[in-house]
Structure 1
Amino acid sequence: MALAVDESKDTSDTAQLSIFIRGVDTKLPVTEELLGLKSMHGTTTGKEIFEEVSKCLNEMMLPWDKLVGLATCGQKSGLVGRIREKMRENHAGELTVYHCIIHEEALCGKALKMEHIMNTVTRVVNFIRAKGLNHRQFKSFLEELGSEYGDVPYHTEVRWLCRGKVLKRCFELREEIYLFMESKGKDTTELRDKKFQCELAFLCDIVSHLDALNLQLQGRGPVITDMYSAVRAFRTKLCLWETQMLQGNMAHSLCCQMMKEQISPAVLPSAEFAEKLNVLRAEFSRRFADFESQKCRFELLSNPFAVEVTTAPTNLQMELIEPKYDSVGAVQFLPDTLPQLRAQAAQMLSMLGSTYLCEQLFSLMINKTPHRSRLTDEHLHSVLRISSAQGLTPEYDELASKKRCQVSRLDPGASE
């Protein structure tokens, strides 16, 4: 089994610690459920988080020696060390710790160092959307111009995927935005600068690719090997785009291609953009170094019989030589006669590569608002547990059998 641990504050500033478990039994089916949700009214140090995690495992009578993985979001100082110490006390194996793949992917984008473009776009969008009058006038302005789009989406830092939509819409409506801002007496010198427009186009292209990868990594039940394969494929794409950018080939950079057609190709800083792609690729390699070190273990699940036997762990070498391959997938083709490989596959299948489940749960905490003061921690936990449950079907017959029917005392012939 593996755990995903993360904490977030609700509207009353109470820290809610969510703990999800992903487990695999001897037949290798995967179970992924909420293990516990704990309210932490004081501090949230690694020691206190560990105590809550320990309580959850003890309450469910889960053995520490079955724990193989832990996914966290950010640095949980002291948590990992205490869990490893507890596992040593129980003679458990080594704990594999991952930082959330989705968070790491989102942080990679900061290596581009193009915050000045995003800040300018955010400032413009906030001017249009923050005041109702400006917003209404802008929408009317677009209607008068016969624009294909009727508005620009609002940007918030909390919603990562909104930035790509905001950038793309602003790029597509750039001419209309210039005219509207000028009608309001705003300086549009920066917005009309060709270098700024080229940088906006480049950022729009890259963020759209990053957002597509982010969506690919989301969801319930993904296998960690598939998640990392998507990241490795993206690194390869970055290498391709870098080469093409130096050649002036914008086949996969549609916004840059549009700018290239509108202005002189010499104005488009292709070499500068290629360097930024190189920096982004290096940042992906740095942030996902922990996953790269597990490459051999990942291959043992995705294609075990293609692994070089001499470099494989000793306890797996004899089973890797066995001609037991079937093309239907790792889970199906590993028979009971290969116990070591099945155990290795079980460990990989149980790994949680992200804290997506925790983040998804926190998004449901909007149920707890200052206007619902009677929604206690216990009520909140019940609501979130039901919301996060998979395949939960009410046993209506059993519930009804425990209730007594209230028989009317009126005579059969009496009037109601």
Structure 2
Amino acid sequence: MDKWLKKESVKTQESASVSSSPHCGKSTSNDHDGPGKSLTKKRKYDDDYIKYGFTCIGDQECPKPLCVICGDVLANSSLKPSLLRRHLETRHPAQLDKPVDFFKQKLAEKKSDITSFISKASTDHENALEASYHVSYQVAKASEAHTIAESLIGPCIKDVVHCMLGEKAAKRIDMVPLSNNTLSQRINDMSNNIETTIVHRVKNSPYYAIQLDESTDVANLAILLLFVRYVNEGMVEEDLLFCRPLEERTTGEDIFNLTNAYFQEKEIDWSRCLGICTYGATSMTGKYTGFVARTKKVASKVSWTHCSIHIQALTTKHMLEGLKEMLVKAVKMVNFIKSWPTNSRIFHVLCEEMGSIHDCLLTHTEVRWLSQGKILVRLFELRTKILVFFNSHPFHLASCMENNVWLQSLAYLADIFSRINDLNLSLQGLNITVFNKLQFWGSCLENNQAECFSNLHDFLAEHKLQLDQCTKTNIIAHLKGLCTTFRDYFPAISGDNDWIRNPFDDTTISTQILNTEEKEKLIEISCDYELRRSFRNLSLINFWLSLRNEYPLLAEKAAAVLLPFSTTYLCEKVFSSYAHLKTKYRNRLDAEPDLRLYLSPKVPDFKELCRAKQASQQKRARS
């Protein structure tokens, strides 16, 4: 027994030594898991096996046979002609006598199916990524919370696809990532894409102008908004450049440091800045430490413009005592009805029963510069309904609604504030026509012609009244005061820049602001009939920008006057959008990316974003 065991041990060792010899004719694998373990033979695939309907998959060291007909994968030990033929005879007897070309064709079809499957999976992933960007873009354009995509949009899309295209297509919708964090990343990517485009255009623009304003949001953060107006392909464009928080204070130094740091980061040249439009606060306009003063040290060509909306709001503050007292009484009447919910509901029902077009009053807010005119117009339109309401709900100022003299003043204020609102809405800046109108209105009232004030004229005609002499005196004095106040804030415009407004007027050539060479160029422009036709078809700023290559000196001087903003209207409007985006429920939101997508007319490059995202994912996978 012992002798037999010893002999077998010797045979095993001899067999192992022979099989491990490098001169062995058979290709085997010598994977020893440890002493005493038996050897495992690894078979190789031969191209002749295709006649049995088999190809191979896996690595070269341990290939596995794959049936090109049914797709079954066998073990490496089955790589024997007899076993392969047995599979063909038992599983596919109908193909037993087929020629080799038949199996080669089946192999080509199998490879095509595998390639198309991989390509389809890759395409589905790319489409899902692009769809995710599109959904994120629509969420940002609608200024909705990022969670709405996963909670509402995704299920709605899946239900629609399921109903229209079937369950199989609906399952593919699950491939689109729509989580809250994913949407935030997508929105940041798209915002950066648009910001890069804007910064590139500003850097390539020959000159640009900015407007900026700061305010406090719901989280008590001081937010600085900056808009830029620049030239792109011969046309003027406006875009939000940044929306950044001021970490501590809101002094001129802090505002300049934040803006200058952004300009240095993006490599924007200060020397090409022609204009700054702000409001008149000390932090902006301080002589030594204000933002404008600091900017002029790095931008020699820059000029400052006071926002005309804020100026016109200031002009309305100066009123005669009689008119101011009348305005206070009007506000008290509105508050008596609007501040009590019961009164407001009863007045609403009363207006409906009396067939009124409007069924409620408007409230006045000092911050909203259009509300003062609207409240007075609505109050004057509903005066008969208010009088009926006061008959059943006594109020100490109810007698004013029966006083024709008081109503004449109310009608005038409703008209004059509406005119100022129209002026603000048209965003007119320095315009001499405003003062001429004020003087014209005053002269009309002196001649008892009230047609220029529609509400006042209709009231007088309806009741067959003459304008009260005291009221007339107050109105004329108020118009003169408005004219004087406008003159204080808007100095009279000299005729030196008339050549910009109309370069084809011969009288503008004698302006003193142009030298001899520039006057000669202006004469050439005025004699060019093609330019005259372009002048009629283009806006004023775009007309002068179109001459930048041919008449660079004149075009630059015209751009320095026309390019700067005249108001901070864009900032005022965007702060309303900002308040809608960042609410008390989203008080930790970084609103700049959402705000940029919400405001900008530019559409991000979705294809480029997808390529960048896929390249980033492949790089992470390789690392």
Shorter-chain TM band: 0.7 to 0.9
Match of 2:324 in 1: 115
Match of 1:324 in 2: 528
How large is the RMSD of aligned CA atoms in angstroms? 2.5
CA distance in 1, matches of 2:566, 2:494: 12
CA distance in 1, matches of 2:389, 2:425: 33
CA deviations 1:239-290 (Å, max 9, x no partner) are 211111111111111221133232641525223312211211221222112x
| Maintained 8 Å contact 2:509/2:519 | no
CA deviations 1:166-220 (Å, max 9, x no partner) are 2112112112212212322212234433332111011011111111111111xxx
CA distance in 2, matches of 1:335, 1:59: 29
Alpha-carbon deviation of 1:5? 1.4
Match of 1:271 in 2: 473
Which residue identity does 2:585 align to in structure 1? H
1:153 and 2:362 aligned: yes
Tell me the number of residue pairs that the alignment of Structure 1 and Structure 2 aligns: 383
Which moved further from structure 2: 8-17 or 100-109? 100-109
| Maintained 8 Å contact 1:324/1:334 | no
Distance 1:358 1:149, change over 3 A: closer
Alpha-carbon deviation of 1:233? 2.2
1:384 and 2:595 aligned: yes
More helix by share: 2
Distance 1:374 1:242, change over 3 A: same
| Maintained 8 Å contact 1:309/1:321 | no
SS in 1 for 2:220: coil
Which residue identity does 1:354 align to in structure 2? T
Match of 2:373 in 1: 164
Match of 2:276 in 1: 70
CA distance in 2, matches of 1:383, 1:63: 27
| Maintained 8 Å contact 1:106/1:214 | no
Which residue identity does 1:118 align to in structure 2? L
1:84 and 2:296 aligned: yes
Match of 2:338 in 1: 129
1:372 and 2:586 aligned: yes
CA distance in 2, matches of 1:155, 1:294: 38
Distance 1:294 1:397, change over 3 A: farther
Match of 1:205 in 2: 415
CA distance in 1, matches of 2:554, 2:279: 30
CA distance in 1, matches of 2:392, 2:606: 63
Report matched runs for 1:188-227 at 5 Å.
Answer: 188-217=398-427, 227=428
SS in 2 for 1:308: helix
| Maintained 8 Å contact 2:365/2:371 | yes
CA deviations 1:363-414 (Å, max 9, x no partner) are 1122212222431xxx21212222222x32133333344566x9xxxxxxxx
Distance 1:45 1:178, change over 3 A: same
1:24 and 2:245 aligned: no
Distance 1:145 1:203, change over 3 A: same
Match of 2:450 in 1: 250
Match of 2:569 in 1: 356
CA distance in 2, matches of 1:144, 1:195: 28
SS in 2 for 1:203: helix
2:304 equivalent among 97, 112, 129: 97
Which moved further from structure 2: 114-123 or 278-287? 114-123
Match of 1:311 in 2: 512
| Maintained 8 Å contact 2:219/2:588 | no
Distance 1:149 1:102, change over 3 A: same
Which moved further from structure 2: 299-308 or 328-337? 328-337
Which residue identity does 2:216 align to in structure 1? K
Q: TM-score, normalised by structure 2?
A: 0.58
CA distance in 2, matches of 1:70, 1:285: 22
| Maintained 8 Å contact 1:5/1:355 | yes
Which moved further from structure 2: 134-143 or 311-320? 311-320
CA distance in 2, matches of 1:233, 1:52: 39
CA distance in 2, matches of 1:316, 1:334: 13
SS in 1 for 2:334: helix
Alpha-carbon deviation of 1:69? 0.8
Match of 1:55 in 2: 261
| Maintained 8 Å contact 1:4/1:352 | yes
Alpha-carbon deviation of 1:7? 0.4
2:218 equivalent among 11, 15, 18: 11
Which residue identity does 2:500 align to in structure 1? L
| Maintained 8 Å contact 2:364/2:372 | yes
User: Taking CA–CA contacts closer than 8 Å with sequence separation of 6 or more, which of the two structures ends up with the larger relative contact order?
Assistant: 1
Which residue identity does 1:214 align to in structure 2? N
SS in 2 for 1:30: strand
Rg (Cα) greater in structure: 2
CA distance in 2, matches of 1:73, 1:254: 33
SS in 2 for 1:385: helix
CA distance in 2, matches of 1:70, 1:295: 23
Match of 1:409 in 2: none
| Maintained 8 Å contact 1:30/1:349 | no
**Structure 1 stretches lacking a partner, 5+ long:** 218-226, 407-416
CA distance in 1, matches of 2:591, 2:223: 10
Alpha-carbon deviation of 1:337? 2.9
Percent same amino acid among aligned pairs?
Answer: 30
1:300 equivalent among 477, 499, 502: 499
1:342 and 2:555 aligned: yes
CA distance in 2, matches of 1:266, 1:394: 60
Q: TM-score, normalised by structure 1?
A: 0.84
Alpha-carbon deviation of 1:84? 1.2
CA distance in 2, matches of 1:167, 1:340: 50
CA distance in 2, matches of 1:119, 1:271: 20
Distance 1:246 1:72, change over 3 A: same
**Structure 2 stretches lacking a partner, 5+ long:** 1-207, 618-623
Match of 1:412 in 2: none
Alpha-carbon deviation of 1:362? 0.7
CA distance in 2, matches of 1:179, 1:159: 30
CA distance in 1, matches of 2:402, 2:473: 22
Distance 1:358 1:310, change over 3 A: closer
CA distance in 1, matches of 2:467, 2:227: 53
1:140 equivalent among 316, 340, 349: 349
Match of 1:399 in 2: 609
SS in 2 for 1:394: coil
| Maintained 8 Å contact 1:57/1:63 | yes
Which residue identity does 1:74 align to in structure 2? G
CA distance in 2, matches of 1:336, 1:373: 49
1:241 and 2:451 aligned: no
Distance 1:34 1:383, change over 3 A: same
